[in-house]
Chains A and B, each alone.
Chain A
Amino acid sequence: MSKITTDETEILAQQHPIAPYLRMDRMPHIWCPTCGIGTVVKCYATALEQSGVDLDKVAVVSGIGCTGRVAGYMKLDAFHTTHGRAIPFATGLKLGRPEMLVTVFSGDGDLAGIGGNHLIHTGRRNIDMLVILVNNFIYGMTGGQNAPTTPIPARSSTMPYGNFEPPFNLPHLVASCGATYVARWTSLHIRRLTKSFNEAIHRKGFRFIEVIAPCSTLYARLNKLGTGFHLMQFYHDHAEIHHGIDTREVGIGYQDTIICGKFIDEEKPTFLELMNNHYRKVLGDKFVPMPLEGGMIREQD
């Protein structure tokens, strides 16, 4: 954890372009120097700014992990939930107040490991939310254990002789569940990632963006890959952009090509649209949809 003195925090609060989107009263953050998560937050905040959406209606939901701490730093309605449950929590938030623009921001272990069942079912239902998954190939927060994304034969603290379990190809997984927008970038692709966030913010349905980002402290160290800087250099040399490529082709091997790009961008009715249209058809005038501002009962005044 890096130390910044109070004065410097104040200077940062004034100068940092995304300061209005952050809880500057919580700086310094807990992330390690050259960790990739901060860059992803910067891109997301910039995309929010460019998007022109009403920030009062934007909620960020995180699970648990280093990436899970994002919700705690965003100056929005922000929920830091339980390990793996950010997506179902976000489902309640969206359905309880349909006008909310919900973003889930969490790690690979959180969303694809313990939360994997929620990931696939929420994709299948096409619930309207943007899911940002920061994939650092490892469980960062707990000290570098094996993740469902760890490539073979990368080393992790629980695979000290190297991983032998096949990892998920996440874009392919969510695409086959029905996600409407699927993209992958690395934390080096600042401009493209920001553009992709902005684009996805304006889409509907279950949108999924995977961001490959350095865990400099654990993944890089355990695998003797240098610092975050070296991983960024690796992304620079080994990332290839293939928009629209068949997602079966985008699995990631150890220190191998990282295929990036927008793989899927299509329009499909969301859960709420399917539900409302269906009930309107079968129930006619008897159907009363959930109000956009939610089902809260209030005193008549």
Chain B
Amino acid sequence: MKADPAGVLTGAHYLDGDFACGEGAMAAGCRFVAGYPITPSTEVVERISRRFPMMGGIFIQMEDELASMAAVVGASWTGTKSMTVTSGPGFSLMMENIGLGAMMEAPCVVVNVQRGGPSTGLPTMVGQADIMQARWGSHGDYELIALSPQSPQEAFDLTIDAFNLSEIYRVPVMFMMDECVGHMTEKVVIPPAEEIEVVPRKLSKLKPEEYWPYSVNGGDIPEMVRAGDGYRFHTTGLTHDHRGYPDMSAECQELCVRRLVEKIKHNADKIVRFEEEETDGADVVVVTYGITARVARMGIEMARKKGVKVGVIRLIVIWPFPEKRIRELAGMVKAFVVPEINYGQIVLEVERCAAGKAAAVPVSHGGGGVHDPNDVCQAILGAAK
């Protein structure tokens, strides 16, 4: 359906990534946000708390990020689209109830404007070291979706996509911005509401006496209902059967958790999203995301001038990872070069998918700044040899 005009600030604006992300959430129909202040993410909720009272939204500043994430999962069960916003230290605290959201299959969005870690790390400066945490951070097996914008415009556009994906697949979606994109100000065009596609909560049409919250009838994704509509349903973080009732058997664990994993795996082709450039006949393919995708540009151009054929894969959806495409390319290129602001995270995925057919070369940066494009260039030249 089309976006509710109340949340859409149509026009051309000069916004930073944090504000643009907040605008994206409101355009997507988000009407409940719970958060706890943390640099460099706070501007997202500052923007939202200013505009929410005019569109029927509620922002609440919780006592911590444990509470923020718990409140978001609770609000999700009312059908109200919900989101929380944080950075590294808060993201760590949210892991507990991100797992609850995954287990209960509660659609919601978690924004992480990444800064340098570990621990308090570099509060005001960039990092990209929470990428694996987004994928594996809560305990147990589950799959979810993560996106990474490279500009304020994408912060707006992809936040809407994040909400839509969370509704379609009933998962918490991780919105993995980084401090640079969050604090970078650029032109952001917000289209009219009628040009913005949003996925509404799809409620089951079954009668309460026919309905079970985790019945899938051979599919991957159960139909949802919301609290207060007379279904009197039960949901739990415990391993549960199709009725949502706890069942502590290995058989039930297999059914319950396998589906949590497979609902994303089976649909990975539909969810995976990346930009691909000049990979035909490339010697080296640079795999990159977020702010690093823009910084690496210059290094890529430098290497091209030196005669190396360089292709690019820019990840837009990070999880699920574009395994198929990396596998295909691995048989055709000498090496992948993976610049990222961490000591090697996505490069591990690339290496796994390349499976020895092509090298996977990290270009590491500890955070607090972005890469020197020359380092990217040198890595490409070295890999092309």
Check A299 against B1 for contact (C-beta < 8 Å).
Answer: yes
Query: A56–B227 Cα gap in the complex (Å)?
Result: 8
Please, which residue of chain B has its CB at the minimum distance from the CB of A85?
B70
Question: In the assembly, what is the distance between CA of A89 and CA of B72, in Å?
Answer: 7
Cα distance A300–B32 when bound, in Å?
21
Closest to B245 in A: A26
By a CB distance below 8 angstroms, the chain B residues around A90 are 74
Which of A179-187, A253-261, A262-270, A285-293 is the interface stretch? A285-293
Q: Smallest Cβ distance from A104 to chain B, in angstroms?
A: 11
Interface of A (DSSP majority class): mixed
Give the residues in chain A near B183, CB-CB below 8 Å: none
Known: A85-B67, A295-B56. A79 touches B77 (CB 8 A): yes
With A26-B245, A296-B79 in contact, is A97–B56 under 8 Å at CB?
Answer: no
Alpha-carbon separation in the docked complex, A297 to B82 (Å): 12
Q: In the complex, which residues of chain B have a beta carbon less than 8 angstroms from the beta carbon of A100?
A: 78, 227-228
Task: Out of A75, A85, A87, A91, name the residue touching B96 (CB < 8 Å).
Answer: A85
B150 proximal to A (CB < 8 A): no
A291 touches B56 (CB 8 A): yes
Extra pairs beyond A80-B234, A295-B57 (7, CB < 8 Å): A23-B234, A57-B228, A85-B66, A97-B227, A100-B227, A275-B58, A289-B56
Chain B residues with Cβ under 8 A from A55's Cβ?
A: 232
Contacts of A287 in B (CB 8 A): 53-54
Q: How far is the CA of A299 from the CA of B56 in the complex (A)?
A: 17
Q: Which of A56-74 contact B (CB under 8 A)?
A: 56-57, 59, 61, 71-72
Q: A92-B74, A95-B75 are in contact. Are A288 and B60 (CB under 8 A)?
A: no
Distance of A76 from chain B, by nearest CB (Å): 5
* Contact in complex: A81, B82 (CB < 8 Å): no
In contact, B237 and A82 (Cβ under 8 angstroms): yes
Contact among A56, A84, A279 for B230, CB-based, below 8 A: A56
**What's the nearest-Cβ distance from chain B to residue A113, in Å?**
13
Q: Is B148 an interface residue (CB 8 A)?
A: no
- Chain B residues closer than 8 Å to A300, beta-carbon distance: 1
Q: Which among B54, B57, B63, B201 is the interface contact of A286 at CB below 8 angstroms?
A: B54
User: Hey, which chain A residues are within 8 Å of B63, CB to CB?
Assistant: 88, 117-118, 121
Q: A81-B70, A291-B56 are in contact. Are A117 and B226 (CB under 8 A)?
A: no
| In-complex Cβ contact of B232 among A75, A288, A299 (8 A) | A75
CB of B189 to closest CB in A, whole Å: 23
B74:A61 contact, CB within 8 angstroms: yes
Contacts of A61 in B (CB 8 A): 74
A77 near B227 with CB under 8 A, answer: yes
What B residues does A118 contact at CB under 8 A?
63, 66-67
Q: A118-B63, A295-B80, A295-B81 are in contact. Are A96 and B53 (CB under 8 A)?
A: no
Contact with B along A80-122 (1 / 0, CB 8 A): 1110110111111101110110000000000000000110010
Partner of A85, one of B58, B97, B232: B97
> Is B54 a contact partner of A97 (Cβ separation < 8 A)?
no
- Asked whether A294 is an interface residue with its Cβ less than 8 Å from the other chain, the reply is yes
Instruction: Provide the bound-state CA to CA distance between A89 and B71, in Å.
Output: 4
Instruction: Please determine whether B228 and A297 come into contact, CB atoms closer than 8 angstroms.
Output: no
Top 6 closest pairs, chain A to chain B, by CB: A92-B74, A295-B31, A296-B79, A96-B78, A96-B75, A92-B75
From A92, A288, A299, contact of B71 by CB (8 A): A92
Q: What are 18 pairs between A and B in contact, CB < 8 Å? A: A72-B245, A78-B232, A79-B227, A82-B100, A82-B237, A85-B70, A89-B97, A91-B34, A91-B67, A92-B75, A92-B78, A95-B60, A96-B32, A295-B32, A296-B80, A296-B200, A297-B200, A300-B1
**Residue A11 is within 8 A (CB to CB) of chain B in the complex:** no
**CB contact between A96 and one of B64, B80, B97, B236 (< 8 Å): that residue:** B80
Question: By the criterion CB–CB under 8 Å, are B235 and A80 in contact?
Answer: yes
Residues of chain B lying within 8 A (CB to CB) of residue A3: none
Instruction: List residues 206-250 of chain B with CB under 8 A from any CB of chain A.
Output: 226-238, 243, 245-246
| Interface residue A298 (Cβ < 8 Å from any Cβ of B) | yes
Asked if A283 CB lies within 8 Å of chain B CBs, one says: yes
Most buried by B among A61, A283, A296: A296
In chain B, residues 232-274, which have Cβ atoms closer than 8 Å to a Cβ of chain A? 232-238, 243, 245-246
Shortest beta-carbon distance from B239 to chain A in Å: 12
Q: Which residue of A lies closest to B30 (CB)?
A: A295
How far apart sit A72 and B54, CA to CA, in the bound complex (Å)?
38
Question: Which residues of chain A (28-58) have a CB below 8 Å from chain B?
Answer: 55-57
Docked complex Cα distance between A111 and B72 (Å): 19
Instruction: Report the separation of the CA atoms of residues A100 and B78 in the bound assembly, to the nearest whole angstrom.
Output: 9
CB contacts (< 8 Å) of A84 on chain B: these are 66
Q: Which partner residue on chain B sits nearest A77 by CB separation? A: B227
Residues of B within 8 A of A26 (CB): 245
Residue of B32, B77, B200, B231 with most partner-chain A CB within 10 A: B77
* Identity of the chain B residue whose Cβ is nearest the Cβ of A293 in the assembled complex: B228
Q: Is B114 close to A, CB under 8 A?
A: no
The interface residues of chain A lying within 8 Å CB-to-CB of B96 are 82, 85
**Cβ contact within 8 Å between A290 and B227:** no
Q: How far is B52's CA from A286's CA once the two chains are assembled, in angstroms?
A: 11
Q: Which partner residue on chain A sits nearest B99 by CB separation?
A: A82
